[in-house]
Amino acid sequence: MSTSLLYHGFGLVGCDYVHSRYQEGAIIFSVKRKRGKFRCSGCRSRDVILRGTLSRRFRMVPIGSKRVFLDYEVQRLECRRCGKIHQEKLGFVDPRFSYSHAFERYALELSRHMTILDVARHLGISWDAIKEIQKRDLTKRFSRPCLKSVKRIAIDEISARKGHCYLTVVLDMDTGAVIFVGDGKGGDALDPFWQRLRRAGARVKAVAMDMSPAYISAVLDHLPQATIVFDHFHVIKLSYEQVRNLPIVRKYEKLFNDLDLSHLPEFNYGVGPDGTSQHALPRAFIIRSLESLKTVSALIRFLQGNPALIYLCGFRNQRLPHDSQFYRFLEINGFQVYIETLGYPNP
């Protein structure tokens, strides 16, 4: 086997082929490092003394349907310059694992088209090994994303588990990528993020968040030039709190609190592209009936003029669905007479 094949086929540099053998349907070949290629893995000096070897076997990229293994004598080296004893540095493999970098890349490529179990069966290794390869790849690519080009971010907290355990999450609004996760939900949870942002030299123009005083204070301190944008939900909620004493709001709040909709599932994802609340729609039709609104279009206009009622009905993100979803809801729930009265054609 030539050194060119070792390099182009398996990524081995500075090695000589020794021999091959075939065992239980697998190909096993041995190589050794060329004498003059040893370096101290610490200071990179060539002035080293050989101090024995450690036999290792590594899984390589398969040849056809045949598994391929590499037997390698890992050399222990004593460096005359730094005085330390290290194992030689292996460029083709991480010494913590029993497979090569090329094998990892091959498994990741297969994972784009196959399940973890299928990849594991095809390569003849465990499910856990493939899962670990994928986790390391994701950690390498996404654990510390580049922040230099970040312009617009969103900050929010999530509950990690029961017992008031929270995480603060920062999202890049342009790419949709999570760029930071911090412990807790206070302003100090963002301190490591501000340090990374400052080192990256990013110029953030806008920050979306809820109305948390801790987040507002942290953004004003570290991004004084950025525009703060409050999310739609909390703005509507605040508006609702201001108008909830109005007679019309109080009337429907009491009515909806007494309304039992337990016979309907909360969400039916067959209605609407993103799943319209099956509890919000009947509440809206109650408003239509009590306000004597003749058409669904009139109902939608009425709700748009009263955002507090949209909030009370329970529409997600306080956004009304298309009028066709109102009609579709009536048909699915057996109110065909309403569709005929309104002149909406049968689907």
Tens-place pLDDT, residues 327-346: 887 776 655 434 443 443 44
- The predicted pLDDT at position 28 comes to 92
- The predicted pLDDT at position 338 comes to 43
Tens-place pLDDT, residues 307-324: 778 878 888 666 788 888
- The predicted pLDDT at position 305 comes to 83
- The predicted pLDDT at position 139 comes to 85
Handedness of CA 289, 261, 277, 339 (dihedral sign): negative
- The predicted pLDDT at position 273 comes to 46
- The predicted pLDDT at position 106 comes to 93
- The predicted pLDDT at position 115 comes to 94
Domain boundaries, the chain: 1-93, 100-143, 152-230, 234-342
Q: Give the chain's residues under pLDDT 50.
A: 269-273, 336-347
Structure pTM?
A: 0.54
- The predicted pLDDT at position 347 comes to 37
- The predicted pLDDT at position 133 comes to 94
Could you tell me the fold of the domain covering 152-230? Nucleotidyltransferase; domain 5 (3.30.420)
